[in-house]
Amino acid sequence: MSPLLRTVPALVLMATATAALAAPAPPGKAPVDLLPPTTPSASPADKAAADPATVPSPAAMPVPAPAPVPAVPAPVPLAHWGKADAAALLGVIEGIAGDGLFAADYKPAELRAAIAVGEGGALDAAAGQSFTWLAEDLRDGRTPIPARVQYFALDPDMDLHPTPALMAQALAAHDIAGVLAALDPVHPDYAVLRSALAALPGGTAGTGPQATLIRANMDRWRWLAHDMGTAYLITNVPEYQLRLTVNDKIIRTYRTIVGKPGRTATPQLSETVQAVVFNPTWTVPQSIVVGEGLGQRLLGSRNAVVSGGYRATRAANGMMTVVQQPGPNNSLGLMKIDMPNPHAIYLHDTPSRGLFNSTVRAFSHGCVRTERAQELGMTMAILGAGMTPEQGVANAMSGKYTRVTMTRTFPVYITYFTMAQDITGKLSTFADIYKRDAPLLASFAQPRQLKTSQRISSEAIVKLDNPL
């Protein structure tokens, strides 16, 4: 038996995890293979950006310009509201503090006055507006997109559960409360935060810093897809931890190293694993090849290869390319999770594994370095591509670039929670390393803003393709 196989305790978990994947999904969960995509299909340029061996030059793939803030969408057509359904909606609004939202945002006084007048246009307008605003916030989050710093985790729920369809369903079934309650995040952390809010001295009406922080992090769960999948990877950047989760239960955890504050901060993403790469290559960015003179130094050497395993070439147009070959000194380490995105963010190994022992681990240029990366890669290949443990070990030990394509959809969520359950299940707070809480908390101190069609941050996309 390979020494690596003997030292990988997570492989013992694979039978359990595989059985969990094969078992019927919990209520409200679709099988992984049937999940709708959580992000738009990646373009060829996006796919190339995630694989350092095929990254084009900056001239070939310019960084997209910030998207303009779109206009407010047209109002939802009025539906007919009976007094009983409107009263049920008013009851939900009056108790919405339990979900960390504010009843005043949804015009309860106007709705109450319209109910008193009776059925007609005024009630249809008041109830329709209150339902629309409440459904939007429960489904998509109350926080305006500009207050979600570096937020690029496109949430599909607006497309899967459009507001007019929700309203029609609620009115047809005369179940206003049930339809709205079904929009609550189903991840266990949301229920823990909700209980913590209710347990505060002021209850759900509390106004102190603790209550505000709980509400803000409850809202962060609404920014993610309601159905996150049966099996997925999720990393909470401020916690420096990655979780492999099956049926909302943690199968394995891995310490992480994330981006340094500033331009190289790790963004919030929702992506899909396309492949596991064992013994990856790394195409060095032009900022290092040209800007730091690495290409010229290598081309001036006899073999254009140095001890770091770099290989340099010059194209007919004069452009220099430097690719670091597979090996223990490769800047990506011995494994990379290929999840195409325009930021060139991925999960990968590192030759500097001693940094995982640090308490604060914000050292990277944006990518998420993962401890025990070979174990993670083999685990993903087993769960996501049907590979045997022996095949996984053989790929890892070969020393050759090997790309294993996923045959099962595997979402990856890169999140930013400053209050959440830690890997032991304890509700904890985490340092706001990128100072993203302030705009979120400020938005909660202001009246609710009307939603626009903007779905992700309009901040510039920074291509963070340097793992050093």
Residue span of the structural domain in which 291 resides = 286-323
pLDDT at 22: 55
What is the C-alpha separation between 364 and 17, in angstroms, rounded?
Answer: 31
CA 161 to chain centre: 20
Q: If you average pLDDT over residues 456-466, what whole number do you get?
A: 80
Answer whether residue 240 is part of any domain.
Answer: no
DSSP-derived 3-state class of residue 393: helix
What is the C-alpha separation between 109 and 82, in angstroms, rounded?
Answer: 17
The residues pairing with 369 across neighbouring beta strands, listed in sequence order, are 257, 348
What is the C-alpha separation between 311 and 77, in angstroms, rounded?
Answer: 62
Answer whether residue 312 is part of any domain.
Answer: yes
What is the C-alpha separation between 423 and 240, in angstroms, rounded?
Answer: 10
What is the CA angle 375-379-384, rounded to 5? Answer: 150
Strands 275-278 and 402-405: antiparallel
pLDDT at 50: 35
Answer whether residue 303 is part of any domain.
Answer: yes
Answer whether residue 250 is part of any domain.
Answer: no
DSSP assignment of 413-456 equals EEE--SEEE-TTS-EEE---TT--HHHHHHHHTSPPPPP-S--S
- In this prediction, what percent of the chain has a pLDDT beyond 70? 81
Answer whether residue 366 is part of any domain.
Answer: no
pLDDT at 294: 85
C-alpha pair distances (Å), 13 with each of 53, 293, 376: 32, 47, 12
Residue type, 98: G
Q: If you average pLDDT over residues 99-113, what whole number do you get?
A: 98
Q: Residue 129's closest CA among 99, 179, 100, 163?
A: 163
Residue type, 397: M
Answer whether residue 316 is part of any domain.
Answer: yes
Answer whether residue 447 is part of any domain.
Answer: no
What is the C-alpha separation between 328 and 313, in angstroms, rounded?
Answer: 22
Q: Tell whether pTM > 0.75.
A: yes
In total, how many domains does the chain have?
1
pLDDT at 304: 63
Q: If you average pLDDT over residues 392-397, what whole number do you get?
A: 92
Q: What spatial distance separates the first Cα and last Cα of the chain, rounded to whole Å?
A: 34
Q: If you average pLDDT over residues 335-351, what whole number do you get?
A: 94
DSSP assignment of 82-136 equals -HHHHHHHHHHHHTGGGGT--GGGG-HHHHHHHHHH-SSHHHHHHHHHHHHHHHH
Answer whether residue 317 is part of any domain.
Answer: yes
Q: If you average pLDDT over residues 356-375, what whole number do you get?
A: 94
